[in-house]
Amino acid sequence: METVTSADGTVIAYDRHDGHAGTVILIGGAFGYRKFPKMVELATTLNEHYGLTVLNYDRRGRGDSTDAGGYDVEREIDDIAALVQAVGGSAMLFGWSSGAALALRAAGSGRILGITKVVAFEPPFVVDHDGFVPAIDLETTLHELVAADRRADTVRFYLTKAMGIPRPMVSVMRFTPFWKNLVATANSTPHDWAVMRDYMRGEPLRTDDWTTVKAQTLVIAGAKSDALLRKGAKAIAAVLPDAELQEIAKLSHNPNVSLLAPAAGEFLTGTAEITA
């Protein structure tokens, strides 16, 4: 584990896998953390099969990273800026779910000039009212639950009210081994909401909001994912200045890394998988 200090004093913990084909920073979504098995698998695969230097980090308030407080997307962009500086001022980004939206917002912020490419895997933009749309007052209740340290309630609330997962499915999740990990990262969910809040209102994405994302971007969607996610991926690819959309058969939001990594690795490096 290595660490870097962000602008507000938050200590960001990360694991580094050294390679020779450029650097990519992995950004997890809600409840994600650097030791999440699929993040570890993705980091290892991109390093060993594509030669990338990979930084796999804990977003603030998760794992071994601290949190100086305040739910503001600018603070999370500061964290990414600190990581980019730690690797010499230039890096690519791979974001998953809300982490994909964070990657795009970082790339468009104008404050991190060294972001050269972005892979956005299923950013959960809600662009119409055909399906689930989070409640407009969600933020108030979420902050109250976190302030009271009601972690299990926070998990249930965020999964159902922010992510639209059916309540019976969430009830089943309580009896799975990874429930404890959701509880452990529950109090970081307001950061995810700060990233996504303005883009989950059921309104079309506006081109003007994304014109500053100059990095070449690959938006990935899974053919087995919910229609909301596939629709959101298509919508953001359409408004970005330099983006392509790739839908991968048999891939879902809980991805098979062997399906996800080749698309990401080949885009980031411009080459096929390294073979012995």
Predicted local distance difference test score (pLDDT) of residue 272:
79
pLDDT tens, N- to C-terminus, the chain (276 residues): 999 999 999 999 999 999 999 999 999 999 999 999 999 999 999 999 999 999 999 999 999 999 998 899 999 999 999 999 999 999 999 999 999 999 999 999 999 999 999 999 999 999 999 989 999 889 999 999 999 999 999 999 999 999 999 999 999 999 998 899 999 999 999 999 999 999 999 999 999 999 999 999 999 999 999 999 999 999 999 999 999 999 999 999 999 999 999 999 999 999 877 764
Measure the CA–CA gap between 136 and 124, rounded to whole angstroms.
Answer: 16
DSSP calls for the chain: -EEEE-TTSPEEEEEEE--SS-EEEEE--TT--TTSHHHHHHHHHHHHHH--EEEEEPPTTSTT----S---HHHHHHHHHHHHHHTTS-EEEEEETHHHHHHHHHHTSSS-TTEEEEEEE------SSSS----TTHHHHHHHHHHTT-HHHHHHHIIIIIS---HHHHHHHTTSTTHHHHHHHGGGHHHHHHHHGGG-SS-PPPGGGSTT--SEEEEEEETTS-HHHHHHHHHHHHHSSSEEEEEETT--SS--HHHHHHHHHHHHHSSPPP--
Measure the CA–CA gap between 234 and 242, rounded to whole angstroms.
Answer: 13
Strand order in the sheet with 243-248: 2-5, 11-17, 53-57, 23-27, 91-96, 115-121, 216-222, 243-248
Query: In this predicted model, what pLDDT tens digit does every residue of 188-207 receive, in sequence order?
Result: 999 999 999 999 999 999 99
Whether pTM > 0.75 for this model: the answer is yes
Measure the CA–CA gap between 23 and 105, rounded to whole angstroms.
Answer: 19
Query: In this predicted model, what pLDDT tens digit does every residue of 77-95 receive, in sequence order?
Result: 999 999 999 999 999 999 9
Predicted local distance difference test score (pLDDT) of residue 275:
61
How many CB atoms are located within 10 Å of the residue 105 CB?
A: 24
Domains and CATH numbers, the chain: 2-126+204-269 (3.40.50.1820), 138-194 (no CATH)
